[in-house]
C-alpha cells in the first residue's frame, strides 16, 4: 500500500486535471455562483425600490428552469406530438427540435449587466450621437398605469438605434425585454443581448412547432408581468414611413388574453431622427425588395474612421436630434372590439403611434424641397414656417429654434452628406439626394394628409 507507483507524465497530468475539474465543479463553482447570486439579489432588491415597475420574478428565473417550464408546458407537449405525427418522426426527435427552439428563444437576464453595463452604454451612445429630446409625454397618464398590469411598449422602427434610445429613456421605469431579429444572433453579441433580457425570433420560420414554442414563451412572459418592447412593423422601415402592422407577436398576446387575467397595457412609442445612421442601406434594400441587407465591411470601417476623425478635429457636431414621443396607452381589457380583436388593436396602436411621431428639422426641410419644390433659402424658410404654423394647431411638440436657424443648420448637414449643393441663395439636389430626402420627408407625411 505504501509502495511508490510509476506513471507516465501524460497520465499524471490527466489525473491532476480530472481532480482539478472535480474540485471546481463540486466546491469552487457552486461557491462562486452563490457569491454572485447573492450580489445580484441585493442589486435587484435595491433596484426594485427605485423602479416604477419592479422586475418580476419570471424575468429573474434561471434560464435552465425557464426552458424546462416551457418544454413541459401542456401546449408545447401537444405541439411536439403533432409535429412528430405530421412529419413521421419519433417523439424524442420532435422533443429535441423543440428544445433547440426553446434554447434559441429564452433569454438569460442579468440585472447586473442590464443596469450597470447596458444602461450606461445606452446613455453614453445616445448622447454622443444625438441631441436626445422627449416629444409628447403624458407623465401623469403613464405613472397612473395599473402596477399589476403587464406593460408593452409598441414602437415604430426607424433605426437599430431605437433599441438603445428607448432603453436609455425608459431605464428609470423598468427593464425592457425586446424581441430581437436574427441579425443579432452573432457571437459574442448574442450572449450580451440575452443577458439584457432580449429574446430571439426567426422572421421566416414556417414550422408550426417553432411558432408554438415562441408563442407560448411570449404568453408566459406576458402572464408573468414582464415589461416588453416590440416593433409591430416587423422590421426597419425601408421608406421612412410608419408602416402597417404585422400581427405575429401581437396576436400571441391578444389571443391568449381572457377576462380575469393580468391586464395588458400597450404604450405607443414614436421615434424620429434628423439622421438615421443606416438610411442609405435601408433605401437600397427598399428598392431591391430584399430586407437582408448588410453593409460591406470596408464601408463600415470607412464610416467609423471618418466619424472619429471628425470627432477628434472638432468637425463633428452630432447627427442632429433624436426624439421619442409616448402616445395614449391602450388597456386591452377596456378596448371596445367590433369583430377581429388583434387586427383592431394593431390598427389602433399604429394610429396612436402616427399621431405622435416627432416633427424634426430634417424631415421638415426635406419635405419643403421634395414635396413643395422649394429651391431657394427664402422659399425654404417660407415653406417650413407654413408647415410649423399648421402643426401648431395639433398642439404637437415642434423644434424650438427659429425657422432661419432650422433651415441653415439642416442645409449644412445635407451639404456635408453630399445630398445638396448650396450656392448663395439657391439649393440643388445632387446624386442620391432625392431618394434620401424623400425618405426623411416620408417620416412626417401623415401629418399633412392634404
Same domain, 324 and 440: no
Same domain, 326 and 389: no
The one-digit pLDDT tens for each residue of the chain (450 residues) are 566 767 677 777 777 777 776 665 555 555 555 555 566 666 666 656 666 677 677 777 788 889 999 999 999 999 999 999 999 999 999 999 999 999 988 888 777 677 777 788 888 888 888 999 988 877 777 778 888 889 999 999 998 888 888 888 887 667 778 877 755 555 555 666 777 778 888 777 678 999 999 999 999 999 988 888 899 998 889 999 999 998 888 999 988 888 777 899 999 999 999 999 888 889 988 887 776 666 666 666 676 677 667 767 766 677 889 999 999 999 998 888 777 888 999 999 999 999 999 999 999 999 999 999 888 999 999 999 999 998 887 777 888 889 999 999 999 999 988 899 988 889 999 988 899 999 999 999 999 987
Same domain, 154 and 230: yes
Same domain, 202 and 350: yes
Q: How many other CB atoms sit within 10 Å of the CB of residue 317?
A: 13
Q: Which of 355, 380, 401 is the last residue of a domain?
A: 355
Instruction: Look at residue 311 and tell me if it is in a domain.
Output: no
CATH of the domain at 373: 1.10.10.10
Same domain, 225 and 242: yes
Instruction: Look at residue 244 and tell me if it is in a domain.
Output: yes
Same domain, 171 and 112: yes
**DSSP strand E in 17-158: where?**
131-134, 150-155
Same domain, 136 and 259: yes
Instruction: Look at residue 35 and tell me if it is in a domain.
Output: no
Instruction: Look at residue 96 and tell me if it is in a domain.
Output: no
Specify the residue for cell string 418544454: 71
Same domain, 337 and 403: no
Same domain, 341 and 404: no
CB 320 within 8 Å of CB 273: yes
Dist. CA 166–CA 153, nearest whole Å: 9
Q: Which of 309, 330, 355 is the last residue of a domain?
A: 355
Q: Which of 355, 383, 408 is the last residue of a domain?
A: 355
SS (H, E, C) 67-100: HHHHHCCHHHHHHHHHHHHHHCCCHHHHHHHHHH
Partnered with residue 230 across adjacent β-strands are 154
Instruction: Look at residue 193 and tell me if it is in a domain.
Output: yes
Instruction: Look at residue 309 and tell me if it is in a domain.
Output: no
Q: Can you give the C-alpha Rg of the chain in angstroms?
A: 26
Instruction: Look at residue 82 and tell me if it is in a domain.
Output: no
pTM of the predicted model as reported, rounded to 2 decimal places = 0.83
Task: Check residue 39 and give its pLDDT.
Answer: 61
Residue 398's domain comprises 361-447
Task: Record the cell numbers describing residue 146, joined without a space.
Answer: 395599473
Domain count, the chain: 2
Instruction: Look at residue 368 and tell me if it is in a domain.
Output: yes
Task: Record the cell numbers describing residue 126, joined without a space.
Answer: 445616445
Same domain, 245 and 230: yes
Same domain, 404 and 266: no
Same domain, 270 and 143: yes
Amino acid at each position: 500500500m505504501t509502495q511508490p507507483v510509476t506513471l507516465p507524465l501524460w497520465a499524471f497530468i490527466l489525473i491532476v486535471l480530472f481532480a482539478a475539474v472535480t474540485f471546481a465543479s463540486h466546491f469552487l463553482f457552486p461557491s462562486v455562483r452563490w457569491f454572485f447570486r447573492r450580489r445580484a439579489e441585493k442589486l435587484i432588491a435595491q433596484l426594485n425600490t427605485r423602479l416604477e415597475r419592479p422586475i418580476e420574478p419570471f424575468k429573474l428565473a434561471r434560464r435552465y428552469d425557464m426552458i424546462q417550464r416551457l418544454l413541459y408546458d401542456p401546449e408545447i407537449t401537444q405541439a411536439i406530438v403533432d409535429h412528430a405525427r405530421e412529419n413521421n418522426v419519433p417523439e424524442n426527435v420532435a422533443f429535441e427540435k423543440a428544445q433547440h427552439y426553446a434554447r434559441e428563444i429564452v433569454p438569460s437576464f442579468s440585472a447586473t449587466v442590464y443596469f450597470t453595463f447596458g444602461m450606461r452604454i445606452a446613455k453614453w451612445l445616445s448622447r454622443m450621437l444625438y441631441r436626445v429630446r422627449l416629444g409628447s409625454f403624458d407623465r401623469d397618464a403613464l405613472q397612473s398605469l395599473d402596477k399589476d398590469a403587464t406593460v408593452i411598449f409598441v414602437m415604430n422602427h426607424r433605426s437599430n438605434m431605437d433599441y438603445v434610445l428607448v432603453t436609455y429613456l425608459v431605464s428609470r421605469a423598468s427593464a425592457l425585454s425586446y424581441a430581437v431579429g436574427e441579425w443579432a444572433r452573432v457571437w459574442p453579441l448574442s450572449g450580451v443581448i440575452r443577458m439584457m433580457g432580449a429574446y430571439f425570433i426567426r422572421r421566416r420560420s414556417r414550422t408550426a412547432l417553432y411558432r408554438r414554442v415562441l408563442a407560448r414563451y411570449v404568453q408566459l412572459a406576458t402572464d408573468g408581468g414582464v415589461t416588453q418592447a416590440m416593433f409591430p412593423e416587423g422590421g426597419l422601415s425601408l421608406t421612412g414611413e410608419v408602416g402597417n402592422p404585422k400581427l405575429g407577436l401581437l396576436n400571441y398576446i391578444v389571443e391568449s388574453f381572457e377576462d380575469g387575467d393580468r391586464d395588458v397595457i400597450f404604450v405607443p412609442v414614436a421615434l424620429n431622427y434628423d439622421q438615421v445612421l443606416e438610411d442609405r442601406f435601408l433605401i437600397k434594400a427598399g428598392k431591391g425588395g430584399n430586407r437582408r441587407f448588410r453593409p460591406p465591411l470596408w464601408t463600415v470601417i470607412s464610416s467609423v474612421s471618418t466619424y472619429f476623425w471628425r470627432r477628434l478635429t472638432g468637425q463633428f457636431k452630432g447627427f442632429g436630434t433624436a426624439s421619442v414621443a409616448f402616445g395614449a396607452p391602450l388597456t386591452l381589457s377596456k378596448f371596445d372590439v367590433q369583430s377581429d380583436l388583434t387586427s383592431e388593436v394593431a390598427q389602433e396602436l399604429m394610429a396612436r403611434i402616427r399621431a405622435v411621431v416627432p416633427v424634426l428639422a430634417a424631415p421638415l426641410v426635406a419635405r419643403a424641397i421634395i414635396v413643395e419644390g422649394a429651391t431657394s433659402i427664402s422659399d425654404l424658410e417660407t415653406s417650413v414656417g407654413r408647415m410649423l404654423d399648421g402643426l401648431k394647431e395639433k398642439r404637437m411638440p415642434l423644434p424650438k429654434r427659429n425657422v432661419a436657424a432650422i433651415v441653415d443648420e439642416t442645409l449644412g448637414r445635407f451639404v456635408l452628406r453630399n445630398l445638396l449643393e448650396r450656392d448663395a441663395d439657391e439649393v440643388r439636389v445632387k446624386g442620391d439626394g432625392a431618394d434620401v430626402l424623400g425618405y426623411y420627408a416620408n417620416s412626417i407625411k401623415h401629418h399633412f394628409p392634404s
